Chain A
Amino acid sequence: MSCGKASCQSGGCSNYDDEQPLSPTRPPVTITPNGSVNISGDRRQLPSNPNICIKCKLNDAIGGRFGGGDDGRFCKDCFRGSLFGKFRFSVTSTGMISPSEKVLVAFSAGPCSRVALQFVHEMQDKAHKNFEASRDKSLPVFGVGVVFVDESAARCVPSAESDEAIQHIKNVLSDLAAPEKLLHIAPLESIYALNPADGREKLRRLLDAIGDNTGKEDFLMHLRMLCLQKVAVENGYTQLVLGTCTSTIARHVLTATVKGQGYSLPADIQYVDARWPVPVLLPLRDCLAREVSLLCELDGLKTLAMVNGPQSGINALVSSFVSLLQEENPSRECTIVRTAGKLTPFSFNRLPDVDDPKARLASQRRQKRFNIKSDEHTPPESFCSLCNSPLHASDSSSLGSFSDEQQSAESFGAACCSSCRFQILPDDSLSMDQFYGLLPQPIMSRAAICNSFINQRLLREKIQDFLLSDSEDGG
């Protein structure tokens, strides 16, 4: 069922309404070829009740209690459909979560990741039903796992609190219907290949070495990503789903701008970010935090508030600024994300093409895949050793002075982006050496790869004039 209008913004009227689960009271709606809606024979009569859903024009809108915005003018089912539609659009347009995948959902128990888990679950549920019903069993069902990163070591939270969170997560998972999802609890200190106590101690010292509050917060986020990647790689997952929503991205756009990361910004805000060993997906990119919380409330999805603790410094300032703007204009967050969406993404912002007949079959049955535009002809990027963001030419120019193979604290610092150098790396060389010694293995090995990549490039520049081809193998 589709509204048939190209301009329809509701997001829920794409042609997979039949895939929307949990809508028991589907009204007898028919659609005429010109796109107007017939409801049980009544010809578009204006509703006498102003508080009626603007989409199905049957049920009461949820509005009122939840303030303005389009979401308040839908009934519960239509609102749910519209939000799920946004999720489905991102999944189908980028070709993520195909049947052969094994998907890991990063779960913090907050509203966004709760909704992400719910939607992935519903997709899996649907795929499972299709699988059971199909005769040839050609499309297998993708696997789903859930990971919770326990950051109590970094945030000094009492262990009772994190135990409570873990218990809550176990309850959430056991409440979900089959197929069963495996739960991974990953303490943040597990990024060190040490026993937990030593890992905790090393992590604490590493974070203590960072003077800037904002820097500490950002670094903690990088560590969390490393931890998620570690779980994903070790357990054979092929995609990692985050619950990042529009509101979070809008704040990230401004914080990145304020920290001078304008160049690398587009890398972080696309549906797909494949610069990691396991590609990261943001299927809730088009959903507002307000909508997500509303859905949790309507569907009785239980969430835990602020497991991660409050923000401070630049991040907190930006967050309150965006909230202020949002009050003044409810679509401000969308505008911010739309602006940043016009920046050119990187080549790694789409899923690598895999020659998998099952995936091809699946994509044939789905909507057309949209191809994200990125500049394919630019040379591969070099990345910040610390935060893995692509380096701008002005940042990577300082790398030339460290061409020795041996990595040191100094060469490591030179291979970081200027933002990390300012807000994370210690100033004086003594503390820098200490900091360097405390870094976990994943960062070190990535830095080594980065280093050898740069060496390779420097060597190449030296012999550039004598090479006959632009390709790496010289062929």
Chain B
Amino acid sequence: MEAAKPKSGGARLCSFCNLRKPALKRPKTLHQICRECFYDVFEDEIHNCIVENQLFKRGERVAIGASGGKDSTVLAYVLSELNRRHNYGLDLFLLSIDEGITGYRDDSLETVKRNELQYGLPLKVVSYKDLYGWTMDEIVKMIGLKNNCTFCGVFRRQALDRGAAMLKVDKLVTGHNADDIAETVLLNILRGDIARLSRCTSITTGEDGPIPRCKPFKYTYEKEIVMYAYFKRLDYFSTECIYSPNAYRGFAREFIKDLERIRPRAILDIIKSGENFRIATSTKMPEQGTCERCGYISSQKWCKACVLLDGLNRGLPKLGIGRSRGHDNDESIKDVKHMTGSKEVQGKPCGTLDF
């Protein structure tokens, strides 16, 4: 997975096939190649990544977390293509979460619905409103634009697991790309989170839980994903979440982009560093139990989603935000909405990444 240095020279032909005129400079290696070779090398790298890491087994049902954005759209396209070409024997599904953000998610869901037809993949949409009784619009109305991403992130993780359980899939794949993972490595260093630092580069997480998650784009550069979507004229939705601005992540992302400009290979090097860090195996995660209220996996009495939801329903939305751990309040279990979705659902956290 190492980026070779670009070959300089006056060759006016694609540096791979030496037949056609180069159409682009490959972001990962700066090689000048033609469009066909770019498709080949892009798809082959993902195929090799899948095979080398044994991400799937024949006959498995696999849900693709689909937001309608570029990463998940390209993932859905490439995965269904590879599944056909290399005969993986997978049953693929699209799984979307409707957070209830007017002007953002409703539009992007339209894209996913078109993808459903274009790629012939069955789609399942799970909404916050159905699962929790609240849309993000309602939550933001109540708590404002601070901390809203905490709610959305916690709810989404659980919603994905519940949706995957409804589809009865064996695995969930997400469109996290190399840039995302490099960024997470840096963020975990900056915040001193050694436990997450040790896990955030694993390609598959939650293998001991019922629904493992994996990231086939672990070594795929964001720029190449955009390039692929552009040349293939894939139908995707490219608007930022209207509630999303997050300065902290922004810093790190910008830093990665600057690094990439100086040395494209830096992204892969950060991932390599993350994989090779000498972290004592004794750095353990808290013991996993199940939430007493909804049955979701949790290290505390109640899972984070239930704590947050309880706060919302009681009109105390600050509850559960910040550093306080756990929830020792027993009396408040009465007026909560009963959640839909199967109670036996369990999943394991996959790190800090947002879907």
Q: Hey, which bits of chain A sit against chain B, CB under 8 A? A: 214, 253-254, 256-263, 265-266, 313-314, 317, 321, 324-325, 328, 332, 335-336, 338-340, 342-344, 373, 392, 394, 418-419, 422, 427
Interfacial chain A residues near B280, Cβ < 8 Å = 344, 373
Is there an interface contact between B273 and A261, defined as CB atoms closer than 8 Å?
Answer: yes
Binds A, one of B53-61, B224-232, B264-272: B264-272
Which secondary structure characterizes the binding site on chain B?
A: helix
Is there an interface contact between A259 and B194, defined as CB atoms closer than 8 Å?
Answer: no
B201–chain A nearest beta-carbon distance, Å: 9
Q: Across the interface, name the chain A residue whose C-beta is closest to B273.
A: A262
Is there an interface contact between A419 and B269, defined as CB atoms closer than 8 Å?
Answer: yes
Interfacial chain B residues near A260, Cβ < 8 Å = 268-270, 272-273
Q: Across the interface, name the chain A residue whose C-beta is closest to B278.
A: A344
Interfacial chain B residues near A256, Cβ < 8 Å = 273
Within residues 265 to 300 of chain B, which ones have a CB less than 8 A from any CB in chain A? Answer: 265-266, 268-270, 272-280, 283
Is there an interface contact between A254 and B275, defined as CB atoms closer than 8 Å?
Answer: no
Within residues 210 to 258 of chain B, which ones have a CB less than 8 A from any CB in chain A? Answer: 251, 255, 258
Alpha-carbon distance between A418 and B251 when the two chains are bound, in angstroms: 28
B54–chain A nearest beta-carbon distance, Å: 18
Interfacial chain A residues near B185, Cβ < 8 Å = 257
Is there an interface contact between A262 and B193, defined as CB atoms closer than 8 Å?
Answer: no
Interfacial chain A residues near B283, Cβ < 8 Å = 342
Interfacial chain B residues near A336, Cβ < 8 Å = 189-190, 192
Alpha-carbon distance between A336 and B270 when the two chains are bound, in angstroms: 15
On whether A254 and B186 interact (CB within 8 A), knowing A317-B259, A324-B251, A427-B5, the answer reads yes
Is there an interface contact between A335 and B190, defined as CB atoms closer than 8 Å?
Answer: yes
Is there an interface contact between A335 and B192, defined as CB atoms closer than 8 Å?
Answer: yes
On whether A338 and B192 interact (CB within 8 A), knowing A257-B186, A257-B270, A258-B269, the answer reads yes
Alpha-carbon distance between A197 and B347 when the two chains are bound, in angstroms: 68
- The number of inter-chain residue pairs (CB within 8 angstroms) is 93
Is there an interface contact between A263 and B191, defined as CB atoms closer than 8 Å?
Answer: no
Interfacial chain A residues near B277, Cβ < 8 Å = 262-263, 265, 343
B343 lies within 8 A of chain A by Cβ: no
Is there an interface contact between B276 and A321, defined as CB atoms closer than 8 Å?
Answer: no
Is there an interface contact between A392 and B276, defined as CB atoms closer than 8 Å?
Answer: yes
Q: Across the interface, name the chain A residue whose C-beta is closest to B2.
A: A418
Alpha-carbon distance between A146 and B161 when the two chains are bound, in angstroms: 62
A329–chain B nearest beta-carbon distance, Å: 9
B263 lies within 8 A of chain A by Cβ: yes
Alpha-carbon distance between A254 and B188 when the two chains are bound, in angstroms: 12
B197 lies within 8 A of chain A by Cβ: yes
Alpha-carbon distance between A253 and B189 when the two chains are bound, in angstroms: 9
Alpha-carbon distance between A373 and B280 when the two chains are bound, in angstroms: 10
Residues 154-194 of chain B, each 1 if its beta carbon lies under 8 Å from chain A, else 0: 00000000000000000000000000000001101111111
Q: Across the interface, name the chain A residue whose C-beta is closest to B283.
A: A342
Is there an interface contact between A340 and B269, defined as CB atoms closer than 8 Å?
Answer: no
Q: Hey, which bits of chain B sit against chain A, CB under 8 A? A: 2, 5, 185-186, 188-194, 197, 251, 255, 258-259, 262-263, 265-266, 268-270, 272-280, 283
Is there an interface contact between A321 and B255, defined as CB atoms closer than 8 Å?
Answer: yes
Q: Across the interface, name the chain A residue whose C-beta is closest to B5.
A: A427
Is there an interface contact between B190 and A344, defined as CB atoms closer than 8 Å?
Answer: no
The 8 Å CB contact of A343, one of B255, B258, B268, B279, is B279
Alpha-carbon distance between A253 and B192 when the two chains are bound, in angstroms: 12
Interfacial chain A residues near B270, Cβ < 8 Å = 257-258, 260
Alpha-carbon distance between A325 and B265 when the two chains are bound, in angstroms: 24
Q: Across the interface, name the chain B residue whose C-beta is closest to A343.
A: B278
The 8 Å CB contact of A339, one of B197, B255, B276, is B197
Is there an interface contact between A263 and B262, defined as CB atoms closer than 8 Å?
Answer: no
Alpha-carbon distance between A419 and B270 when the two chains are bound, in angstroms: 12
Is there an interface contact between B275 and A317, defined as CB atoms closer than 8 Å?
Answer: no
On whether A422 and B279 interact (CB within 8 A), knowing A256-B273, A261-B273, A335-B190, the answer reads no
Alpha-carbon distance between A361 and B278 when the two chains are bound, in angstroms: 35
Alpha-carbon distance between A262 and B273 when the two chains are bound, in angstroms: 4
18 of the cross-chain contacts (CB-CB < 8 Å) are A253-B189, A258-B269, A259-B266, A260-B273, A261-B273, A262-B275, A262-B277, A313-B263, A314-B262, A317-B259, A335-B192, A339-B191, A343-B277, A373-B280, A418-B2, A419-B269, A422-B5, A427-B5
Q: Across the interface, name the chain B residue whose C-beta is closest to A258.
A: B266
Is there an interface contact between A317 and B276, defined as CB atoms closer than 8 Å?
Answer: no
The 8 Å CB contact of B273, one of A257, A328, A332, A422, is A257
On whether A422 and B265 interact (CB within 8 A), knowing A254-B189, A260-B272, A336-B189, the answer reads yes
Is there an interface contact between B190 and A263, defined as CB atoms closer than 8 Å?
Answer: no
Interfacial chain B residues near A263, Cβ < 8 Å = 273, 276-278
| Most chain A beta-carbon neighbours within 10 Å: one of B193, B197, B277, B278 | B278
On whether A314 and B273 interact (CB within 8 A), knowing A335-B192, A336-B189, the answer reads no
Alpha-carbon distance between A258 and B257 when the two chains are bound, in angstroms: 12
Interfacial chain B residues near A265, Cβ < 8 Å = 273, 277
A-B pairs with the 8 shortest C-beta distances? A262-B273, A260-B269, A263-B276, A344-B278, A257-B273, A260-B272, A342-B194, A339-B192
Interfacial chain B residues near A340, Cβ < 8 Å = 189
Interfacial chain B residues near A418, Cβ < 8 Å = 2, 272
Interfacial chain A residues near B274, Cβ < 8 Å = 257, 262
Alpha-carbon distance between A154 and B289 when the two chains are bound, in angstroms: 60
A235–chain B nearest beta-carbon distance, Å: 35
Is there an interface contact between B190 and A325, defined as CB atoms closer than 8 Å?
Answer: yes
B58–chain A nearest beta-carbon distance, Å: 29
B203–chain A nearest beta-carbon distance, Å: 16
B355–chain A nearest beta-carbon distance, Å: 25
Alpha-carbon distance between A19 and B273 when the two chains are bound, in angstroms: 42
Is there an interface contact between B186 and A314, defined as CB atoms closer than 8 Å?
Answer: no
Interfacial chain B residues near A314, Cβ < 8 Å = 259, 262-263, 266
